[in-house]
Amino acid sequence: MKKYFLTIDNGGTNTKSVIFDIEGNQINSVSFPTMRIEDKSGYHEIDLHVLWKAIAQSIKEVIKQSNINRADIIGVSCVGHGKGLYMLDRGKNIFTHGILSTDSRASSMTVEFENKINDIFSITHQHVMESQAPILLSWLKKNNPNIYSNIGFVLSAKDFVRFKLTDSLNQEYGDASSNNLLNIESCDYDSRIFDFFNIKEMTDKMPDLLQFDALAGRITAESSVMTGLSEGTPVFGGMFDIDACAIATGVINEDFFSVIAGTWNINTFPSNEFVNRNQKLMSSIYPTGSNLIEASSPTSAGNLSIMLKMLMNNEIDNAKEDGRNIYEILEEFLIHTDATFSKVLFFPFLYGSNTDKDAEGTFLGIQSNTTKSEMIRAVYEGITFAHKQHVDQLVDFLGHKPKAIRISGGATNSNSWMAMFANVLNIPVQVVSGTEIGGLGGAIVSALGCGIYKDLNEAVNCMVHLEKEFVPSDDQVLIYEKKYETFLAFINSMQNTWSYLKTMQKEMEKK
């Protein structure tokens, strides 16, 4: 009788329930859009009651569609977006919305705390980001004291889902450290962090810490009824989605970098070193026991989806009428164009920047004869250039290029885009099999927790399967090097200039 694992991947864009077998083969998945509430500009929240009901239904559906016996699911784990804030009251009840990782309400406070980050950087090795739990808690304390005073427990996205499955409250080390809650040298909470963010009342609201593959609890009778899972099925610690994608692409040492090209532009690799403040990198606790070195920003494929809606509504409608989707048509377009096609540059700053806090999305080089096709290809290239900025940061930290880049995220659905990544980065790019890479990371967690494999290396060797490799092409590399040089030159020239645009916009909003 075959045995299976279930992963619930609670992402910032989509939430998925995915079933894998013990060899890492993806059996089936059911997903739904993460139901974001945006009542105010910069506020990105989610109704936790609605989220849990939708997750429970997706679990029932994926079991049914997989045509398996629920008793054959021998392990469950949760993967989730990092940052953000999920809160329960003292009675372990939902009492307010969760806050997603794209929330920016605390941006002004973030600048204030980052200006004095030297006070705690030596213990957190994290810069301050506007969607981290401590900054959001500090914002709530100042702006919504009623919610702040009712907080009984502070959780991350996946930890909330695991609680609903098991009624057990924990935070997993990777998520907690990436959320600026831990001293990553002592691997524990530290009162100095809570004092720094002026949230010392939250010190005793932090659940016990848990290893990624530790048994967290078991499916309760109540959650069994809602999800269709067998009561008593073991549920393990789980992973921060960045960790899950890196592990599921086989990034367990410095030989490979993990690149996630999805909602966010995330680039990581494990190291025994710690970052310093001037390197503008982040560290968190990685499942291997080393530090995950991270360079990231909201400058990836999310920009493409927005630009397609702006520029290609007619094409999107026509594709639907023909029973196709716009990405199939764009793939054909990319196949028949190359680095020489577009003379336009796109700066993918629609959700934020990796250069200047006030930078915004921009096309540069548009002429009277510029075509929409050139602009779209420029979007693909601009996103890839933004990834190169971060990959170059990691290369500088490591001291040499990796053997290859292992990519996950929505961009991997396009072979042409993967070839572009290889040419822009001038490093071989590899893609593993399966569409739900974060879910595979969760399945690896369950496999270790169930004792199927003796250690992480064996689990990765048995469950991660390389599918494609893209090698740089010398002629394309040369053209992209020149484009990228120009891309950087304009970014550097605009430093401290974007603020004029921001000031103008704010003045116009007042009128």
- Distance set, CA 59 to CA 15, 36, 53, 224, 407 (Å): 11, 20, 10, 10, 27
Question: How is the beta sheet containing 45-46 ordered, strand by strand?
Answer: 36-37, 45-46, 98-99
Q: Which pLDDT belongs to residue 11?
A: 85
Burial 235-258 (b: 16+ CB within 10 A, else e): bbbbbbbbbbbbbbbbbbebebbb
By the 8 A CB rule, do 123 and 190 touch? yes
pLDDT of residue 406 exceeding 80: yes
What average pLDDT does this structure show over 297-318?
Answer: 91
What average pLDDT does this structure show over 4-12?
Answer: 94
- Which pLDDT band, with edges at 50, 70 and 90, does 227 fall under? very high
- Which pLDDT band, with edges at 50, 70 and 90, does 202 fall under? very high
Q: Which of 90, 103, 78 is nearest to 12 (CA)?
A: 103
- Which pLDDT band, with edges at 50, 70 and 90, does 362 fall under? very high
Cβ-Cβ contacts under 8 Å for 90 (sequence gap 6 or more): 150, 152, 153
The string of pLDDT tens digits covering residues 438-484 is 999 999 999 999 999 999 999 999 999 999 999 999 999 999 999 99
Percent of the chain with pLDDT over 90: 83
Q: What is the CA radius of gyration of the chain?
A: 22
Range with lowest mean pLDDT among 83-92, 131-140, 310-319: 310-319
Q: Which pLDDT belongs to residue 169?
A: 97
The string of pLDDT tens digits covering residues 235-257 is 999 999 999 999 999 999 999 99
Q: Which pLDDT belongs to residue 322?
A: 87
- Which pLDDT band, with edges at 50, 70 and 90, does 62 fall under? very high
What average pLDDT does this structure show over 209-226?
Answer: 97
Percent of the chain with pLDDT over 70: 100
> Which one of 3.10.180.10, 3.30.420.40, 3.30.460.10, 3.20.20.120 gives the CATH number of domain 302-431+469-510?
3.30.420.40
What's the token pair of residue 470? 């893209």
Domain ranges of the chain: 302-431+469-510
Determine the residue type at 166. Answer: T
Q: Which pLDDT belongs to residue 382?
A: 97
Q: Which pLDDT belongs to residue 102?
A: 84
180: left (phi over 0), alpha (psi -120 to 50) or beta: left
Range with lowest mean pLDDT among 184-188, 215-219, 441-445: 184-188
| Average confidence score pLDDT of the chain | 94
What average pLDDT does this structure show over 371-395?
Answer: 97
- Distance set, CA 378 to CA 158, 340, 382, 408 (Å): 35, 11, 6, 21
What average pLDDT does this structure show over 13-26?
Answer: 94
The string of pLDDT tens digits covering residues 43-57 is 999 999 999 999 999
Residue 53, CA atoms < 13 Å, CB-side half-sphere: 7
- Which pLDDT band, with edges at 50, 70 and 90, does 499 fall under? confident
pLDDT of residue 510 exceeding 80: no
- Which pLDDT band, with edges at 50, 70 and 90, does 511 fall under? low
Cβ-Cβ contacts under 8 Å for 137 (sequence gap 6 or more): 85, 148, 151, 154, 197, 199, 202
Tokens 């016996």 appear where?
69
- Give the span between the Cα atoms of 511 and 508, in whole angstroms: 5
- Which pLDDT band, with edges at 50, 70 and 90, does 35 fall under? confident
Strand 98-99 with 45-46, pairing: antiparallel
Beta bridge partners of 268: 258, 294
For 143, phi and psi rounded to 5 degrees? -110, -20
What average pLDDT does this structure show over 385-393?
Answer: 97
Cβ-Cβ contacts under 8 Å for 163 (sequence gap 6 or more): 88, 92, 155, 169
- Give the span between the Cα atoms of 144 and 20, in whole angstroms: 42
